[in-house]
Amino acid sequence: MSQLRFEALKKLNERGKVHVEPIDPNISKFFGENVFGMEQMRATLAPAVFKKVSNAIKNHEKIDEATADAVASAAKSWAIGKGATHFTHWFQPMTGGTAEKHDSFFDALAGIERFKGSELVQQEPDASSFPSGGIRSTFEARGYTAWDPTSPMFLYGKTLSIPTIFVSYTGETLDTKSPLLKALKAVDQAATQVCQLFDKDINHVVASLGGEQEYFAVDKALANARPDLVMAGRTVFGHSPARGQQLEDHYFGTIPSRVYDFMRDFEIECWKLGIPVRTRHNEVAPSQFEVAPLFEEVNVANDHNQLMMDVISRVGDKHNLKILFHEKPFAGLNGSGKHNNWSLITDTGVNLYAPSSSARDNLLFLTFFITTIKAVHEHADLLRASIATAANDFRLGANEAPPAIMSAFIGAQMTAVLDELEKKGNVKIEKGDNMYMKLGIDQIPEIILDATDRNRTSPFAFTGNKFEFRAVGSSDNCGTPMTALNLIVADQLTKFYESVSKEIEKGEEKRIAIVNVLRQYIKESKAIRFEGDGYSDEWVKEAEKRGLSNIKNMPRAIDAYLSKKSLELFEKHGVLSHKEVEARNEIKLESYIKKVQIEARVIGDLAMNHIIPTAIAYQNKLITNANGLKGLGVDNAAVVQTIKEISEHIEIIKNGIRQMVEERKRINKIADTHKRAIAYCDDIKEKYFDSIRDSVDKLELLVDDEDWPLVKYRELLFLR
Ligand code: ADP
Ligand code: MG
C-alpha cells in the first residue's frame, strides 16, 4: 500500500534539472508581445477607428458594427502573423476559473481565414452545463458571451483569446466579470462627481488593483500520490511535521533553485502576456510563495490574475511542480490569500488615497478615506459575504489569517487625524519637531504617513496610499470582492455628495459642508475601526460588544447578499437584479454542497481503503510481536498498549465514517438548498472532518513509517 508513496519519493530523488531558456534582461523588449491591446490597435487601425474604440472604452459606451469589423480584421491579421489558428471567447463563469471554446479562423467552405466583427462582439457557447442557479433551465441551452473591449485580447498558445462577459439567453449575467464592470462604472461616476467638488478638470476615476498571489509549490509526483490533493486541492489528513513554520526561516529566505527556475519561466510567459509581474518571494509556511504584479485598472488586473494562475499551473507542471492555490492545503500551517491592494486614481493622475502636502488635496484625500471607512462600516457583512467560499472557511480565523470579523485598520497617525477632526477640527501631526497644524477650513493638515505602520492581522488595512483587502482567498476570482468593495464605496460617495449638496443649498460654505459630513461619518463608523491584534480572543469578545458580526462559514455569510440593504444597493446602481443575486447565491450554495460532499467522500475513501487496512496490518505485526514476547516471558505491556490504542483509533474512524455516510443520506433529502448547505456545514464538515482526522493523524504517529500509505507533510513540504 505504501508503494505509491515510495515510488513518488524515488521519482523525486531522480529528477534532473528542467531546462530554462536564457532570458533577455531587457524585459521591455518583449513585454506584451502576445497582447493585442491599445498600442497594437493604435498601430493597426485607421486613426478615426482607433479614436472610436478608445473613446468607447473610456466612456463605457458601445462599439458600432463597422468599428468592430475593423478591430476583428486587425486582430486576426496580428494573431495569424504570430501563428494563431483559432480564436476563443474567454470568460469567467460562476464555477471559478476561466472557460473557453475555440473556433478556427479557417472557413473551410470559403477556403479562407476570416474573423468578422460580429464574431468578435458576440458568441453563443452552449451554456447548458454552466451553473445558472435556476435562471436558465437546461433545455434552454443558450447563453451569450460578449466582448469586453476594456481588457486587451491576447495570444495564448495558438489561440487569440478575447475577454468576454457571459450572460444568459434572457439577459441575466452568469459570470463574475459583468457585475464587476458595472460596479467599476458606478464608482467612476460617483467618485468623479465628488472629485468635481474639488477639481473640475477630473472627468474619470479609475479603480486599481494589485493582487498579491500566494501559493504552495510541491513536487508533482508527491502531490499525485495524495488522492486528497488531487481530488480536493487540500490535504484532509497529515500529521504536522516536527518542523513547521516555527523557525520562521522560510519567509523572505533564499528561494530554492528549483522553484526559482519555475518562477523565472512563468514570469517570462506572464511578461509576454502583458502581465506586469514584479515581486517574488518565499512566504511564511515552508514551500509557500508569493507573486505580485504591479497594480492595474481593476478589470484588467483581475483578468491578468486569472490568466496568471493558469500560466503558473502550466509552467509548474513543466517543472514537475504541483501548484496549490487552495486557501488551506495544510492544517497547522499558514493558509494562502490574495491580498487585494486597491485604490482610486483620477484621470489627472491623483491617487485619491495618497495624503499629500497640499491642503486642498488633503481634504480630497480625507473625503475618500473617511467615506471608504464609512462604507465598510455600513456594509461589513456584504464584504464578508464577498470573500466567502468553502475553501476560505478553512483559512479565515486560523493560523495567521485575517479573522472572519470585518474591521478596518488605519494606523496610529490616521487614527489621530480622525480623532482630532471628529473632536475639534484641530490636528497635531508629527512632522519634524512636532509641528502643530490646524485642520478645518483654511488649513488642512499636512499628513506624512509612516509606511512602517503595519498590521498584518486586519482583513482590511490602510497601507499608506491604498487599502489592502486581505481576507480574499488565494484561489478566488477577485471580481466578486472587487464588485462589492467598489459598489459600497460608490454608494457611500453618492450619499456623501448628496449630503454635502444639501448643506451647500442651505447656504453653508463648501469646505465647511464637506468637513461637517466627514465628522458625522467618523462618528458613525467608529465601531469598524480596530488597531489591535485581529488574531486575539479579546478581539472576538470586543467585536461582539461593538455589534460586529463574526460569521464563521460560507453558507451563512452569503445570506448578506439577500438582505434588503444589499439588494437595494445592487439594484440602485444597476449592478445585479434581485433575481440575479438569488441565482448567484443558489449557485454558490450548490457548489459549496458539492465541495463538502467530495471532501467527505475523499475522507471516507482514504480512511477505509488506505488508512484502516494499513493500521490493521501493522497491528497484526504487533500482535505477533506481543505473543512472541509473552512466549519468552518478556513484559509485552507496551506493545499491548499500542495495539489497544490502534484499535481505539480504528473504532473512532470507522464509526465516524459510518455515521457521516448516514448523515449524508439524510441531508441529501433536504429540498431547500440553503438548509442543505447549512446541514453539510454543521452536521458533516464541522462534526466529523476534524474528529476523523485527529485519529488518522494519531495513527500516522503509531504506524511504522515504512508502511504508511500517504506522502507525509515533511516530505511534501521539505523535499525538492
Ligand atoms: P506589500 O508591502 O503589501 O507587499 P507593495 O508595495 O509591494 O506592498 O505592493 C503590493 C501590491 O500593491 C502591488 O501589487 C502593488 O502594485 C500594489 N499597489 C501599490 N500601489 C497601489 C495603488 N495605489 N493601488 C492599488 N494597488 C497598489
Ligand atoms: Mg501586502
Per residue in 555-587, pLDDT tens?
999 999 999 999 999 999 999 999 999 999 999
- Mean pLDDT along residues 164-185: 91
CA nearest to 182, candidates 170, 172, 197: 172
**Residue type (1 letter), 647:** S
User: Does 295 sit in the ligand 1 pocket, CB within 6 Å?
Assistant: yes
Cβ atoms of 503 and 513 within 8 Å: the answer is yes
Distance CA 669, CA 675 (A): 11
Cα of 453 vs centre of ligand 1, distance in Å, is 15
Q: How far is the CA of 462 from the centre of ligand 1 (A)?
A: 11
Q: How far is the CA of 467 from the centre of ligand 1 (A)?
A: 9
Distance CA 607, CA 228 (A): 11
Distance from Cα 343 to the centre of ligand 2, integer Å: 13
- Which ligand has an atom closest to residue 339 CA? 2
pLDDT at site 18: 85
Q: Is the CB of 170 under 6 A from ligand 1?
A: no
Q: Which residues surround ligand 2, an ion (CB under 5 A)?
A: 339
Q: Which of 181-190, 427-436, 519-528, 670-679 has the lowest mean pLDDT?
A: 427-436
Radius of gyration of the chain (CA): 28
pLDDT confidence tier of residue 403, bands split at 50, 70 and 90: confident
Q: What is the reported pTM? A: 0.94
Q: What is the pLDDT of residues 245-282, one digit of tens each?
A: 666 666 666 778 889 999 999 999 999 999 999 988 88
Atom of ligand 1 nearest to the CA of 343: 24
| Kind of pairing between the strands at 143-147 and 159-168 | antiparallel
Indicate if ligand 1 lies below 6 Å from the C-beta of 210.
yes
CA of 570 to the centre of ligand 1 (A): 28
pLDDT value at residue 451: 54
Pick the ligand that lies closest to the CA of residue 337: 2
Q: Where are the beta strands (DSSP E) in 16-79?
A: 35-36
Cα-to-centroid distance, 339 and ligand 2 (Å): 6
DSSP letter, residue 577: -
Q: Please give the pLDDT value at position 134.
A: 66
Going by pLDDT thresholds of 50, 70 and 90, the confidence category of residue 7 is very high
The single residue listed with the C-alpha cell 510563495 is 289
Judged by its nearest atom, the ligand closest to the C-alpha of residue 209 is 1
SS3 state at 206:
strand
Does 456 sit in the ligand 1 pocket, CB within 6 Å?
A: no
243: cell is 518542523
Residue nearest to atom 2 of ligand 1 (CA): 463
The mean per-residue pLDDT over the stretch 80-98 comes to 92
Ligand 2 center–CA 468 separation, angstroms: 7
Ligand 1 pocket residue status of 342, Cβ below 6 Å: yes
Instruction: Using the predicted structure, report yes or no on whether residue 675 has a pLDDT greater than 70.
Output: yes
Ligand 2 centre distance from Cα of residue 482 (Å) = 16
3 state SS of 278: strand
Poorest-confidence range of 282-296, 375-389, 430-444? 430-444
| Ligand 1 contact, 466 CB (< 6 A) | yes
Q: What is the mean pLDDT of residues 538-555?
A: 93
pLDDT band at 718 (very low <50, low <70, confident <90, very high): confident
Instruction: Judge contact between 88 and 103, C-beta under 8 A.
Output: yes
First to last CA, the chain: 23
For residue 279, the ligand 1 atom closest to its alpha carbon is: 7
What is residue 691's DSSP assignment? H
Verify whether ligand 1 is closer than 6 Å to residue 294 (CB atom): yes
Q: Which of 711, 713, 21 is nearest to 315 (CA)?
A: 21
3-state secondary structure 325-391: CCCCCCCCCCCCEEEEEEEEEECCCCECCCCCCCHHHHHHHHHHHHHHHHHHHHCHHHHHHHCCCHH
Q: Is the CB of 451 under 6 A from ligand 1?
A: no
Whether residue 361 has pLDDT greater than 80:
no
State whether residue 210 is helix, strand or coil. Answer: strand
pLDDT tens column, 199-221: 999 999 999 999 999 999 999 99
> What is the spatial distance between Cα 676 and Cα 596, in angstroms, rounded to a whole number?
11
* Collapsed DSSP state (helix, strand, coil) of residue 49: helix
User: Is any atom of ligand 1 closer than 6 Å to the C-beta of 290?
Assistant: no
Q: 290 CA distance to ligand 1 centroid (A)?
A: 13
Segment among 231-240, 262-271, 529-538 with least mean pLDDT: 529-538
User: Best mutation site among 295, 343, 350, 369 for ligand 1, i.e. most ligand atoms within 8 A of its Cβ?
Assistant: 295
Q: How far apart are CA 500 and CA 513, in angstroms?
A: 6
Cα 551 to ligand 1 centroid, rounded to whole Å: 28
pLDDT at 141: 44
On whether the CB atoms of residues 569 and 379 are closer than 8 A, the answer is: yes
pLDDT at 609 > cutoff 90: yes
Choose the weakest-confidence range: 157-171, 425-439, 448-462, 516-530.
Answer: 425-439
Is the C-beta atom of 351 inside 6 A of ligand 1? Answer: yes
How many Cα atoms are found within 13 Å in the side-chain-facing hemisphere of 700? Answer: 19
Ligand 1 pocket check for 465: Cβ under 6 Å: yes
Which of 202-206, 389-393, 398-402 shows the lowest mean pLDDT across its residues? 398-402
Percent of the chain with pLDDT over 70: 91
Record the cell numbers describing residue 610, joined without a space. 488506505
**Measured from the CB, is residue 206 less than 6 Å from ligand 1?**
no
List pLDDT tens digits, range 688-714: 999 999 999 999 999 999 999 999 999
Q: Give the pLDDT score at 596.
A: 97
CA of 140 to the centre of ligand 2 (A): 45
Look at residue 252 in the predicted model and tell me its pLDDT: 61
Spatial separation of the C-alpha atoms in residues 334 and 288, rounded to whole Å: 9
pLDDT (average), residues 444-457: 61
- Which amino acid is present at 163? P
pLDDT for position 25: 86
Q: What's the pLDDT score for residue 140?
A: 43
Please provide residue 100's backbone torsions phi and psi, each rounded to the nearest 5 degrees.
-155, 155
Instruction: List Cα–Cα distances, 64 to 15, 35, 42, 67, 647, in angstroms.
Output: 55, 23, 18, 5, 73
Under a CB-based contact definition with an 8 Å cutoff, are residues 475 and 96 in contact? yes
Please state the rounded mean pLDDT for residues 316-323. 96
> Rounded to whole angstroms, how far apart are CA atoms 209 and 467?
10
Residue 248 confidence (pLDDT) = 63
Q: Ligand 1: does its nearest atom lie under 6 Å from the Cβ of 407?
A: no
499 has pLDDT over 90: yes
Determine which residue's CA is closest to atom 13 belonging to ligand 1: 210
DSSP for 667-682?
HHT---HHHHHHHIII
Query: Residue 497 pLDDT > 50, yes or no?
Result: yes
Positive/negative CA dihedral, 154, 160, 161, 164: positive
Cβ of 129 less than 6 Å from ligand 1: no
Kindly state if the Cβ of 697 falls inside 6 Å of ligand 1. Answer: no
DSSP 586-637: HHHHHHHHHHHHHHHHHHHHHIIIIIHHHHHHHHHHHHHHHHHHHHTT---H
CATH code: domain 184-587 is 3.30.590.10
Ligand 1 pocket residue status of 90, Cβ below 6 Å: no
- The whole-number pLDDT of residue 142 equals 63
Pocket lining: 341 vs ligand 1, CB cutoff 6 Å: yes
Mean per-residue pLDDT, 492-518: 93
Determine whether the shortest distance from the Cβ of 292 to ligand 1 is under 6 A.
yes
Secondary structure class of 538 (helix, strand, coil): helix
The alpha helices in 148-207, defined as continuous H runs, are 177-195
Q: What is the pLDDT of residue 363?
A: 86
Reported as a pLDDT band with limits 50, 70 and 90, residue 450 is low
Does ligand 1 come within 6 angstroms of the Cβ of 455?
Answer: no
Q: How far apart are CA 320 and CA 10, in angstroms?
A: 14
Per DSSP bridges, beta strands 338-346 and 205-219 are antiparallel
553 closest CA partner among 431, 684, 416: 684
Does 472 have pLDDT greater than 80?
A: yes
Collect all residues with Cβ–Cβ distance below 8 Å to 465 and sequence separation of at least 6.
Answer: 343, 351, 353, 354, 355, 449
Percent share of the chain, pLDDT over 90? 72
pLDDT of residue 128: 59
Atom of ligand 1 nearest to the CA of 294: 16
pLDDT at 432 > cutoff 60: no
Cell, residue 557: 455569510
Rounded Cα–Cα distance for residues 613 and 619 (Å):
10
d(CA 436, CA 427) in angstroms, rounded, equals: 7
610: left (phi over 0), alpha (psi -120 to 50) or beta: alpha
Q: Where are the domains of the chain?
A: 2-18+27-90+96-129+136-171, 184-587
Q: Which of 341, 353, 452, 457 to mutate to test the pocket of ligand 1 (most atoms within 8 A of CB)?
A: 341
